[in-house]
Each structure stands twice: as C-alpha cells, then as structure tokens.
Amino acid sequence: MSKFAAVCAALSLGLAGGVLADEASIRKNLAERLPNFPPIDEVSKTPIPGIYEVRVGVEVFYTDEHGHYVIQGNLIDTKTRSNLTEARIAKLTQIDFASLPLKDAILIKQGSGARKIAVFGDPNCGYCKRLERDLVALKDVSIYTFLLPILGPDSNAKSRDIWCARDRAKAWRTWMVDGNVPAKAAGPCDTGALERNLALGERHRVNGTPAIVFEDGTRAPGALPAEQIENRLVAAAKR
C-alpha cells in the first residue's frame, strides 16, 4: 500500500470511528437520561454538522453528538425550501404496493382500471365519505378499499355487512356516496379479511382513515380532492 493510500485509509477509519463513537454516546445518554424514550432504531447524520437524526420506528427526532439535547420538529432546507423531515418520514412510511393483499380489499374499477390506488377506509368516517365522492370522478383507475373498522362497534357491524354483501363494491359505494344503509349480513360469512386488514393497518402504522396508497409506494393521509389524487397518480406513473 502506498503512503498516500495508507493515510486515506487511516482518515476513513477515523471518520467512521467518530461516527460510531457519536452514535454510542447518543444511545447511551438518551437511554440513561430519558428512560421512557422508545428504543432507537437508527442514528444517522443530518446535513447540519453535529446534528444527528434519531429514528424511532417512523418517527424522527434530532440530537447533538452527545445526546445532551433532543429536538422534535421539522428540519427545513432554506435553500430549496424543502421539508427534510417530511421527506424522510414519507420515505419511511412507503408501502410496497405489490405486497398488499388485494384479495382482502373491495375492488371498484372505473374505465380501463389501468391505474391503481389502495384506500384504507372506515364506513363511519366522514372524511372517507368525502373522499369516496371525489374518487367517483377519477378515470381509468382501479380502487382497492381495505375496510378498516376502527371507529367503534357500529363500524365493525357495517364493515361486516358490506364485506358479506353479494356485491361488495355496490354496497360500499352506495353507503358512502348515497347513504343507503347496507343490508344486514344473513347466514355464515368469512370476515377474516377484516381482522387481517386491522393487522395490516397496524403493521404499516395507518392510524387514521382515510389513508391512500399509490402504486409508487407513497401514501397520503386524509381526504385529498380529486385533482390532487389525479396529480399523484400521474407522478406515481412516472416513477
């Protein structure tokens, strides 16, 4: 090894050692001083010298190199006017669309159905009803709705009635858009999908409805208007 290469290697090891030392210090001090702080999944550098990102699941905090301080909030790049925290969380919460168990969803196909979105919805969610009215306006899209009854016992009952209906798509949409109460489920019906959907939502930290997942894995909470959904569909198709 040349003298120059040896110096570069030593510098590299020193930098790596510094990062590891900082991470160890951060983990040790936060654990000792904040015993109720959740287990840390990852510590990584930010663009700001001496400031580190501390990731807990899909939550992001910031700290100094010793873990003396914890910052909770958004990190903004003033040059690009971009929200680095928001972008990081968006990446952490992405869902692999291909991995979604679509057999457990209600499919509504509009036009060619070439484009796809998935929606987590509760039948008693007012914002879900608003979203559903906007979804009607979309063209050439397949909408996979995962029933997520999280708003109480009546949500469970309505979800069961909709899932067990002869035409699930019609029962869902006429209730959400027109207010026609779904007929009570008669006879035996396999509602295992509802339990699996709850587990799926918990696994992906879907804490509220509606939640939309696009084919590129990005997701959006809340009732986006049709124009914004269309823009996201176009963006997803380009990735």
Residues 75 and 29 in one domain: yes
Residues 113 and 231 in one domain: yes
Evaluate whether 133 touches 153 at the Cβ level (below 8 Å).
no
Domain end among 58, 92, 126: 92
Residues 120 and 57 in one domain: no
Least confident segment among 20-24, 109-113, 193-197? 20-24
Domain end among 30, 62, 92: 92
Q: Is the pLDDT of residue 18 over 70?
A: no
7 pLDDT band, cuts 50/70/90, is very low
C-alpha–C-alpha distance, residues 217 and 233, integer Å: 11
Residues 44 and 72 in one domain: yes
Predicted pLDDT of residue 19: 56
Predicted pLDDT of residue 20: 66
228 or 21, greater pLDDT = 228
221 pLDDT band, cuts 50/70/90, is confident
Domain that holds residue 191: 97-238
Domain end among 92, 116, 146: 92
Amino acid at 50: G
Residues 108 and 43 in one domain: no
Predicted pLDDT of residue 225: 93
User: 179: domain CATH number?
Assistant: 3.40.30.10
Residues 118 and 219 in one domain: yes
Q: Average of pLDDT values for 153-178?
A: 96
Tell me what the pLDDT averaged over the chain comes to.
90
Count of structural domains within the chain: 2
Q: Is the pLDDT of residue 233 over 90?
A: yes
Residues with Cβ within 8 Å of 12's Cβ and at least 6 positions away in sequence, in order, are: none
pLDDT in tens, 188-219: 899 999 999 999 999 998 989 999 999 999 99
Residues 73 and 106 in one domain: no
Least confident segment among 71-80, 211-220, 230-239? 230-239
Q: Is the pLDDT of residue 104 over 70?
A: yes
127 or 8, greater pLDDT = 127
Residues 147 and 55 in one domain: no
Residues 136 and 222 in one domain: yes
Residues 113 and 69 in one domain: no
Residues 190 and 211 in one domain: yes
Return the half-sphere exposure (C-beta side, CA atoms, 13 A cut-off) of residue 184. Answer: 3
Predicted pLDDT of residue 239: 75
User: 39: domain CATH number?
Assistant: 3.10.450.70
Predicted pLDDT of residue 102: 97
Residues with Cβ within 8 Å of 39's Cβ and at least 6 positions away in sequence, in order, are: 56
221 or 198, greater pLDDT = 198
Q: Is the pLDDT of residue 110 over 90?
A: yes
Residues 137 and 223 in one domain: yes
